[in-house]
């Protein structure tokens, strides 16, 4: 028979409902947002990806934002400007 009880030290993270917008059928004519995470070469990597999306997939334009640092999510200005100004976002990391 059990003589003692101990308490669980762990915490369950809160559940977050995440939904994705529908993916576009084609990137032709789409405006591409690029979000770089400040790490070394992440801007160069994303610019190359942006060029490929324009050259090979017909994307209209690219625009890049820079996060405050690699350890935080994209800040509110990025989210708001991306919502208004681009159709698709590519977020990448470099290191």
What are the structure tokens assigned to 67, written together?
Answer: 């996060």
Nearer to another protein, 20 or 40 (CB): 40
Query: If binding is defined by CB under 8 A, does position 11 make contact with another protein?
Result: yes
Q: Report, in Å, the least distance between residue 44 CB and another protein.
A: 11
Query: If binding is defined by CB under 8 A, does position 18 make contact with another protein?
Result: no
For residues 55-94, which are near another protein according to CB under 8 A? 68-73
Q: Report, in Å, the least distance between residue 45 CB and another protein.
A: 14
For residues 29-48, which are near another protein according to CB under 8 A? 40
Question: Which residue is it, tokens 């003692």?
Answer: 4
Report the chain's terminal Cα–Cα distance, integer Å: 55
The Cα 38–Cα 60 span in angstroms is 25
Residues near 4 by beta carbon (within 8 Å), at least 6 away in sequence = none
Q: Report, in Å, the least distance between residue 71 CB and another protein.
A: 3
Question: Which residue is it, tokens 């994705």?
Answer: 20
The Cα 28–Cα 84 span in angstroms is 18
Residues making contact with another protein (CB under 8 A): 2-11, 13-14, 16, 40, 68-73
């Amino acid at each position: 028979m059990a003589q003692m009880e101990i308490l669980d030290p762990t915490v369950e993270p809160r559940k977050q409902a995440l939904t994705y917008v529908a993916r576009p059928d084609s990137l032709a004519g789409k405006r591409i947002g690029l979000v770089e995470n400040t790490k070394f070469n992440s801007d160069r990597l994303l610019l190359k990806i942006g060029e490929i999306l324009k050259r090979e997939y017909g994307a209209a334009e690219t625009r890049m934002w820079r996060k405050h640092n690699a350890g935080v999510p994209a800040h509110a200005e990025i989210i708001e400007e991306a919502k208004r100004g681009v159709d698709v976002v590519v977020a990448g990391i470099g290191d």
